[in-house]
């Protein structure tokens, strides 16, 4: 049995999206972020974060690692690309999203939404916005050449990158400088599987 621990109002959403895309039968335990360091959850993930995937006794944490695992195990012919070379590209874009995009997007979320007004910094917002220009430009150039990151098919690379970039919607990030990326992101986030996840706890 496949079971995912973590509320959809967190990074767990990207794993729920992958499960829905793959059509895997799963059980969802919507562990809240505030409960991630409970005694029960620390047995699943000693660092005390969500999500955690349990797959027939195998426990995996870190959202994009979970997604790469799910795609490789259950997604042949759908989310998991066929060639070893494109496996490498799926890893590449997933790590790119975590290292080049998410830290700056989290800065924007903190200083525009999460922190108390007196702790927010316009300078931090400005620096994060500037830092995003280069990686977003790289994605826009790739998506100017083909429909999705690895070619014509939507793969786990697209899902992982789009799920990270979805944070930008909360701060109304301006994607007008990267129109190919903007169109791809809207299309990716509009997929039926992702829409279903947004209605979960």
Q: What is the CATH number of the domain that holds 32?
A: 3.40.30.10
3 state SS of 60? strand
- The count of domains in the chain is 2
At residue 153, the pLDDT reads 97
Q: Are residues 63 and 40 in the same domain?
A: yes
- How many Å apart are CA 191 and CA 159, to the nearest integer? 10
At residue 201, the pLDDT reads 75
Domain endpoint, select from 34, 60, 78: 78
The answer to whether residue 102 sits within a structural domain is yes
Task: Tell me the pLDDT tens digit for each residue of 14-36.
Answer: 999 999 999 999 999 999 999 99
Residues of the chain where predicted confidence (pLDDT) is lower than 70? none
At residue 169, the pLDDT reads 95
- How many Å apart are CA 3 and CA 54, to the nearest integer? 5
The answer to whether residue 200 sits within a structural domain is no
Number of Cβ within 10 Å of residue 29's Cβ equals 17
Number of Cβ within 10 Å of residue 114's Cβ equals 12
Question: Of 78, 70, 45, which Cα lies nearest the Cα of 150?
Answer: 78
- How many Å apart are CA 38 and CA 21, to the nearest integer? 30
8-state DSSP, 54: E
**What percent of the chain has pLDDT above 70?**
100
Number of Cβ within 10 Å of residue 10's Cβ equals 18
Q: Are residues 36 and 134 in the same domain?
A: no
Q: Are residues 190 and 126 in the same domain?
A: yes
Beta strand residue intervals within the chain, DSSP E? 2-5, 26-29, 52-55, 58-61
The answer to whether residue 201 sits within a structural domain is no
At residue 25, the pLDDT reads 97
Q: In angstroms, what CA-CA distances link 170 with 40, 109, 136, 167? A: 31, 7, 17, 6
Q: Are residues 89 and 70 in the same domain?
A: no
Domain endpoint, select from 19, 45, 78: 78
Domain endpoint, select from 57, 78, 99: 78
At residue 11, the pLDDT reads 97
Range of the structural domain that residue 68 is part of: 2-78
């Amino acid at each position: 049995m496949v079971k995912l621990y973590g509320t959809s109002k967190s990074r767990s959403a990207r794993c729920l999206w992958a499960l829905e895309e793959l059509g895997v039968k799963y059980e969802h335990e919507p562990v809240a972020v505030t409960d991630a360091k409970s005694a029960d959850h620390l047995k699943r993930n000693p660092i005390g974060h969500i999500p955690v995937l349990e797959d027939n006794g195998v426990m995996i944490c870190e959202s994009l690692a979970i997604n790469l695992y799910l795609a490789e195990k259950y997604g042949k012919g759908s989310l998991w690309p066929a060639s070893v070379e494109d496996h490498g590209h799926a890893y590449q874009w997933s790590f790119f999203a975590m290292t080049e995009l998410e830290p700056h997007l989290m800065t924007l979320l903190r200083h525009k939404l999460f922190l108390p007004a007196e702790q927010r910094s316009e300078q931090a917002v400005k620096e994060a916005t500037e830092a995003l220009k280069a990686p977003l430009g790289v994605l826009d150039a790739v998506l100017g050449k083909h429909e999705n990151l690895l070619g014509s098919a939507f793969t786990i690379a697209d899902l992982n990158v789009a799920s990270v970039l979805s944070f930008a919607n909360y701060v109304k990030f301006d994607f007008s400088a990267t129109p190919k990326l903007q169109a791809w992101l809207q299309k990716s986030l509009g997929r039926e599987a992702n829409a279903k996840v947004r209605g979960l706890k």
